[in-house]
Amino acid sequence: MDTLPLWAKIGTILLLLVLSAFFSISETSMMAINRHRLKYLASKSAFGAKRTQGLLAKTEQLLSLILIGNNLINVVIPVVTTSITLSMFGNDSVVLSVTTGVVAFLIIVFCEITPKIVGASFPEKIALPASFVLGPLMRVAQPLIWFVNLFASATLHLLRINTHGARDVRLSSEEVRNIVLDSGSFLPLKHRSILRNLFDLDNIEIDDVMVPRARIEGLDLSARFETIVQQLETCYHNKLVVYDGDIDRIAGVLHVRKTLAALHTPGFTPDTVRSMLTEPYYIPTGTPVFQQLQFFQEHRRRIGIVVNEYGEVQGLVTPEDIIEELIGEFTTSVPRSAASRPGWSAQDDCIVAGGTPLRELNRLLGLQMPVDGPKTLNGLILEILTEIPEGALSMAINGCRVEVMQIDNQAVRTVKLFRPAVDKAADKAAASISSKAAGGKPARR
């Protein structure tokens, strides 16, 4: 080293600093790269993706190569700088101490901190090209890597540390759900909403999606014959729950289309309707929604009657009700105009029935009503007040102002909701973004 000219020694130091920075930035980028994203890039034959996958499949050897190279270089750098200092200033302890401090500063800043910050910020852009250098180096240094790993493995064995078991750790459903929520702009909003709802199915019971007992449209066989015929002619549903006098006394389920053919024949009577009934399919309250969806598939049923532990009818559910929890409202049994559907008016308010399910309000109006207790808006209001209101009143629930408008038969019948201020601001921001995307002009419909 003493025979080299000064410019060669300085060039050697700069080269070693660059190599040290390369190993540092490669180490961080390789460990920080998203494995799922890398797998996708490899399937698309992206530049360096498969080679990077191969290196990461041998994590121990890859880390050994990087750390061996980085540490050897960081040891050589002080040796070269000390040689330059001795040749220029002699054996001066002060100069040697200053030189050591400067070299340590250069290594920490330019070979460790800065490269690792860059590698963590742009792992994909760095790891893929770096694999073309690290791959050949790993093959050349294989004997040295094996020798070093021999001692490392022995040390881990003595400490009883099993590194193979740590590789089998898999993502839980909640972790995957968080990945979906953090996907940001990578997934369209609708797709992200469907995936999030899919994970939430495990926490939803059939009581949350059923049509409540009071809203079930059923056919009473004890009613006048003319009333039965009129209801069959004007029914919006393809299947009707049929009962005798009381909805808790269900006789069966009627396929309306099959009945229409015999509706005006001379021999058509309530007994004719009774002969066309199929056995009702009962579902106990508290059944998980995802489990019930599988039951619908297995039993090939399209309608289920939800009953409590006493056999009393609590509601009605169909596969469509469950599917709407995933993708939102896409169909309805009763034709409704756009104006009749719950939605915010120009005055940022909305009038809804007290028996409206809370999950439906949250889905249609973008609210955050609690759904872990009562299932309807009426039940939630009564639970918060702990009494039946005697007249109109106003209250706030999770940032949404609620005004009771009508009370009938010990229940809240009509409620006016006022849009939360946060939702208004979010809509204005979304409109501003849409306007900018359209070149500052309002978007056309």
381, 414 contact by CB (below 8 A):
no
DSSP 324-380: HHHH-----SS---GGGS----TTSEEEEETTSBHHHHHHHH------SS-SBHHHH
Domain edge (last residue) among 123, 152, 168: 168
How would residue 428 be classed by pLDDT, with cut points 50, 70 and 90? low
Q: What is the pLDDT of residue 120?
A: 93
Reported as a single tens digit per residue, the pLDDT across 76-128 is 998 888 888 888 877 778 888 898 899 999 999 999 999 999 999 999 999 99
The residue ranking higher by pLDDT, 414 or 445, is 414
What value does the mean pLDDT take over residues 388-394?
Answer: 81
Containing structural domain, residue 347: 338-426
Which amino acid is it at 296?
Answer: F
Rounded Cα–Cα distance for residues 413 and 407 (Å): 5
Q: Name the token pair of 170.
A: 């898999």
Q: What is the largest CA-CA distance in the chain?
A: 124
Residue 83 burial (CB count, 10 A): 15
Rounded Cα–Cα distance for residues 254 and 241 (Å): 6
Q: Is residue 86 part of a domain?
A: yes
DSSP 8-state assignment for residue 122: S
Domain edge (last residue) among 168, 191, 213: 168
The residue ranking higher by pLDDT, 267 or 18, is 18
Residue 297 shares a structural domain with residue 414: no
Q: What is the pLDDT of residue 126?
A: 93
3-state secondary structure of 401: strand
Q: What is the pLDDT of residue 444?
A: 35
Residue 54 shares a structural domain with residue 151: yes
- Give one word for 173, left, alpha or beta, with left for phi > 0 and alpha for psi -120 to 50: alpha
Reported as a single tens digit per residue, the pLDDT across 235-287 is 888 888 999 988 999 999 988 888 887 777 777 888 888 888 889 989 999 88
- For residue 438, is pLDDT > 50? no
Minimum mean pLDDT range among 18-32, 137-151, 398-412: 398-412
- For residue 215, is pLDDT > 90? no
Residue 100 shares a structural domain with residue 217: no
Q: What is the pLDDT of residue 398?
A: 85
Residue 307 shares a structural domain with residue 358: no
Residue 351 shares a structural domain with residue 222: no
Q: What is the pLDDT of residue 238?
A: 84
Q: Is residue 10 part of a domain?
A: yes
Q: Is residue 178 part of a domain?
A: no
Q: What are phi and psi of 341, to 5 degrees?
A: -80, 145
Residue 233 shares a structural domain with residue 287: yes
Long-range contacts of 92-96 (CB under 8 A, 24+ apart): none
Residue 74 shares a structural domain with residue 95: yes
Q: Is residue 16 part of a domain?
A: yes
Q: What is the pLDDT of residue 331?
A: 52
What value does the mean pLDDT take over residues 437-445?
Answer: 39
Instruction: Point out which residues pair with 173 in neighbouring strands.
Output: none
What value does the mean pLDDT take over residues 154-166?
Answer: 77
> Model's pTM, two decimal places?
0.56
Domain edge (last residue) among 283, 301, 327: 327
- For residue 443, is pLDDT > 70? no
Rounded Cα–Cα distance for residues 109 and 238 (Å): 74
111, 17 contact by CB (below 8 A):
yes
Residue 157 shares a structural domain with residue 277: no
Rounded Cα–Cα distance for residues 86 and 91 (Å): 6
Residue 15 shares a structural domain with residue 145: yes
Q: What is the pLDDT of residue 184?
A: 59
Length reported for the chain: 445
3-state secondary structure of 284: strand
Q: What are phi and psi of 420, to 5 degrees?
A: -60, 150
Reported as a single tens digit per residue, the pLDDT across 307-316 is 998 889 999 9
DSSP 198-251: HHHGGG-BGGGTSEEGGG--EEETTS-HHHHHHHHHH---SEEEEEESEEEEEE
Residue 211 shares a structural domain with residue 353: no
Q: Is residue 284 part of a domain?
A: yes
Rounded Cα–Cα distance for residues 36 and 124 (Å): 12
Q: What is the pLDDT of residue 51?
A: 92
Reported as a single tens digit per residue, the pLDDT across 164-203 is 655 555 667 677 777 766 665 666 777 777 777 777 777 7
Q: Is residue 174 part of a domain?
A: no
- For residue 440, is pLDDT > 50? no
CA-closest candidate to residue 129, choices 45, 32, 57, 52: 52
Q: What is the CA radius of gyration of the chain?
A: 36
Q: Name the token pair of 102.
A: 């400067």
DSSP 428-442: HHHHHHHHHHTTSSP
* CATH code (residue 319): 3.10.580.10
Angle at 16 between CA 11 and CA 22, to 5 degrees: 130
* CATH code (residue 364): 3.30.465.10
Question: Measuring CA to CA, how many Å separate 89 from each of 94, 96, 200, 272, 328?
Answer: 10, 9, 72, 115, 79
Domain count for the chain, please give it.
3
- For residue 378, is pLDDT > 90? no
Residue 302 shares a structural domain with residue 409: no
294, 202 contact by CB (below 8 A):
no
Q: Is residue 333 part of a domain?
A: no
CB neighbour list of residue 355: distance below 8 Å, 6 or more residues apart: 212, 214, 215, 376, 377, 378, 411, 413
Residue 295 shares a structural domain with residue 261: yes
> Which DSSP helix (H) or strand (E) runs through 304?
strand 304-307
Q: Is residue 443 part of a domain?
A: no
